[in-house]
Structure 1
Amino acid sequence: MDTTAETSMKQKWNTQGKKKSSNKRKWLQALIFLLPSLLLLGIFFAGPIIMTFYFAFTDMSLTGASAQNIQYVGFQNFTNMFQDPSFKTSFMKTMVFLLMSAILGQQVLGFILAMLMREKNATVRRITGTAVIAGWVTPEIICAFAFVTFFSDNGTLNHLLNIFNFGPVSWLYTFPMAAVVIANIWHGTAYSMMMFQAALDGVPKEIHEAAMVDGAGRWQRLWRITIPSIKNTISTNLVVITLGTLGVFSLIYTMTGGGPANSTSTMPVFMYKQAFVNYQLGYGTAISLILLLIGITFSLLYIKFLKTDQE
């Protein structure tokens, strides 16, 4: 009996040992296959992030003594930043641009379009979807030039106003922030629309039908059924469009250059001017870290206040 038990235990241990050895080989094979990707991520993603954190605390510049002999300056760049009136202006312009073009623009308009298309037939959905998605697939620089042409003094908008005997308006000078907000909404709304459309298609129609039988109105069904059902999508979409809008540079810089008088100088534009116009790379890198921190803060707030049912 003892011999049989010992033999059984040895066989069990051998089997477990073979399984562990096999699992180790599988993990090693997987690691070998993933190694090129991990190296690329380390070189082109993790590496620049680490360098960004380092250069933000230096006086690195493109010209002068600091270009050859980089010195560690601690928090001096951040101290100068928070004392700079131009940074405060760019921060406020960034918040206005984010609120108007992303949160109220892309998010709300995308949701409205998705709701309107929900009850339409397939032909209307295809035509409307194609028209809206055309803006999203258009490269940002082309979108910027298109809206420069639209809002210019001799542009399309003024020609249309001239038909109704309204005088020409210098839109990019008089209402520059409104112009870049409209351009960014046109360019990015399609993503929100597609996200909400997919989420709304997943809401069971039986729930709405039952609510209608119980006497629930359109707005009651919207606030008590539709929005809670797609809370995950709302949170995810807010994070994506917020991070995307915080990084918008070429659209604004091409349309207005940050002007007139810094009226559209958001943080990416301000960062670019400090780093590549004033040649203060260390200072520009510090601004980019603040921009990253703003994006992380907004993302955490969205997740906190739009908690999912699984949480």
Structure 2
Amino acid sequence: MLPSWVLLLVFFFVPILLTFYFAFTNLSLTGAASASTQFVGFRNFASMFADPTFRVSVLKTLVFLIFSAIVGQQLLGLILAVLMNERNRTFRSVIGVLVLAGWVTPEIVVAFIFFAFFSDTGTLDSILQWFHVKPIAWLYTFPMVAVVIANIWHGTAFSMLVYQAALGDVPKEILESAMMDGAGRFQRLWRVTLPVIRGSIATNMVLITLQTLGLFTLIFSLTGGGPGNKTETLPIYMYQQAFADYQLGYGTAISLILLLIGIIASIVYIRTLKVEL
């Protein structure tokens, strides 16, 4: 076990401790702070909460999280899993491959795909012109909608796989008993299946929440956080502060806020679904 513990110590625990330490310093890539880093206490956090851009980024992050992960990936993944669970093997294989194709595609490629889809002369506007609809600058007019749809397309397969596995573990005897008692398809899903798989629901919500909170490449490549700050989520804001403005200590403090949001969301999921750890 010693080699494993050494690896965990060097590549996991030490970076975590350094992250907490740097968040309370004025660490910078340029200037006097780069040569002599000093402990500044909660100054980074005070500046952060006083910055209106930070508050906007938190709001954008929550909007992006709710619509692309909790509503989009979670709900669509469950619907696909339920529909595929009731179909033959050939249908499941074909649909599964199509959905998984989006998941295995790298984020940078997904960004270019949806840039071509939503651009002024892209696929979507070309289709709308068939119906005599004027072209719309989607990435300028509705940038958050664009990144939400792109993330749903990219990440739904994970939720689908989780729910496919969970649905396979639901005892058929319970479903058959509910059917004999007169329960319809929706009633069996709502009153039998979902309560049985609530552990998988909580696990999936935690995983996709943490993944979505840390999403950077897709948004940065598709919109760069713009136009303005319309899609500037916390990872984009953190990048701007840490690597564009060279304020690594301030950027690290932002990462702790991002971590705190993930922890709070996870606790809410577990408490709401009453899952035992």
Is TM > 0.5 for Structure 1 vs Structure 2? Answer: yes
Q: CA separation in 2, counterparts of 1:173 and 1:227? A: 39
Name structure 1 gaps, 5 residues minimum.
1-33
Partner residue, 1:116: 83
Q: CA separation in 2, counterparts of 1:165 and 1:35? A: 68
Partner residue, 2:146: 179
Partner residue, 1:126: 93
Partner residue, 1:48: 15
Cα RMSD after superposing both structures: 1.0
Does 1:215 pair with 2:173? Answer: no
Q: CA separation in 1, counterparts of 2:108 and 2:225? A: 15
Q: CA separation in 2, counterparts of 1:211 and 1:52? A: 52
Deviation for aligned residue 1:84? 0.4
Q: Percent identity, aligned pairs only? A: 63
State TM-score, norm by structure 2.
0.98
Name structure 2 gaps, 5 residues minimum.
none
Give the secondary-structure state (helix, strand or coil) at the position aligned to 1:211.
helix
Partner residue, 1:235: 202
Which one of the candidate residues 95, 99, 104 is aligned to 1:137?
104
Deviation for aligned residue 1:270? 0.3
Which one of the candidate residues 226, 229, 254 is aligned to 1:259?
226
Deviation for aligned residue 1:50? 0.7
Partner residue, 1:75: 42
Amino acid at match of 1:150: F
Give the secondary-structure state (helix, strand or coil) at the position aligned to 1:111.
helix
Partner residue, 1:165: 132
Amino acid at match of 2:140: Y
Amino acid at match of 2:260: L
Map Cα deviations across residues 176-198 of structure 1 (whole Å, 9 max, x no partner). Answer: 00000000000000000000011
Deviation for aligned residue 1:303? 1.2
Deviation for aligned residue 1:159? 1.2
Give the secondary-structure state (helix, strand or coil) at the position aligned to 1:216.
coil
Larger deviation: 202-211 or 220-229?
Answer: 202-211
State TM-score, norm by structure 1.
0.87
Map Cα deviations across residues 208-233 of structure 1 (whole Å, 9 max, x no partner). Answer: 22212111122221111010010110
Structure 1 stretches of 4+ moved >6 Å: none
Q: CA separation in 2, counterparts of 1:104 and 1:181? A: 10
Which protein shows a greater Rg?
1
Partner residue, 2:255: 288
Deviation for aligned residue 1:35? 1.7
Map Cα deviations across residues 56-98 of structure 1 (whole Å, 9 max, x no partner). Answer: 0001111100010101100000000000000000000000000
Amino acid at match of 2:180: V
Partner residue, 1:95: 62
Q: CA separation in 1, counterparts of 2:257 and 2:251? A: 10
Which one of the candidate residues 157, 160, 163 is aligned to 1:190?
157
Deviation for aligned residue 1:119? 0.7
Does 1:306 pair with 2:273? Answer: yes
